[in-house]
Amino acid sequence: MTPRKRRLMFVAGALAALGVATTLVLNAFEDNLVFYYTPSELQSGKAPASRSVRIGGLVEAGSLQRESGSTLVHFRVTDTAVSLPVTYEGILPDLFREGQGVVAEGRLGNDGTFQARQVLAKHDENYKAVEVTEALERAKPRAATLSN
């Protein structure tokens, strides 16, 4: 086989693999992009109901309730302007605390409750998820008008 032909084969092979991979990637990518919203944005209906989304904020103090006899928990996530009710079934992360930052992934139910599939808390006391900081920042102007 001549070098020219071989090079052509290399390019063709690479392009074919790239084509297949691109198709796979774009299909999977499309389905698995998780967008991030603040509780305020979620409540004003900005988030698509059909997709899984992430929310970030603080766990409202005193809002954590455990349903007796099951592993279901209820709490509220707030960005200081809007507080959103969240339900989650399972074990909360070790660093989940009232008054602390939290990120939850799930869907907004028809009753306005956010059904979390996954709850993430910070990994270290010095550390605050970027999403949480941003949610609080974004809600600041609104919270200010509410308190006036």
By CB under 8 A, name the binding residues for another protein. 1-3, 6-7, 9-10, 13-14, 17-18, 20-21, 24-25, 27-29, 31-36, 52, 54, 66, 68-71, 89-92, 94-95, 103, 123-127, 129-131, 134
Please, what is the minimum distance in Å from the beta carbon of residue 49 to another protein?
18
| Cβ proximity to another protein, 14 vs 144, nearer residue | 14
Please, what is the minimum distance in Å from the beta carbon of residue 96 to another protein?
9
CA–CA gap between residue 126 and residue 63 (Å, rounded): 23
Please, what is the minimum distance in Å from the beta carbon of residue 24 to another protein?
5
Please, what is the minimum distance in Å from the beta carbon of residue 112 to another protein?
22
| Burial of 118 (C-beta count, 10 Å sphere; 0-12/13-18/19+) | middle
Q: What is the DSSP letter of 126?
A: T
CA–CA gap between residue 76 and residue 90 (Å, rounded): 16
Provide the Cα torsion 72, 120, 28, 42; round to 10°: 80
| Cβ proximity to another protein, 25 vs 144, nearer residue | 25
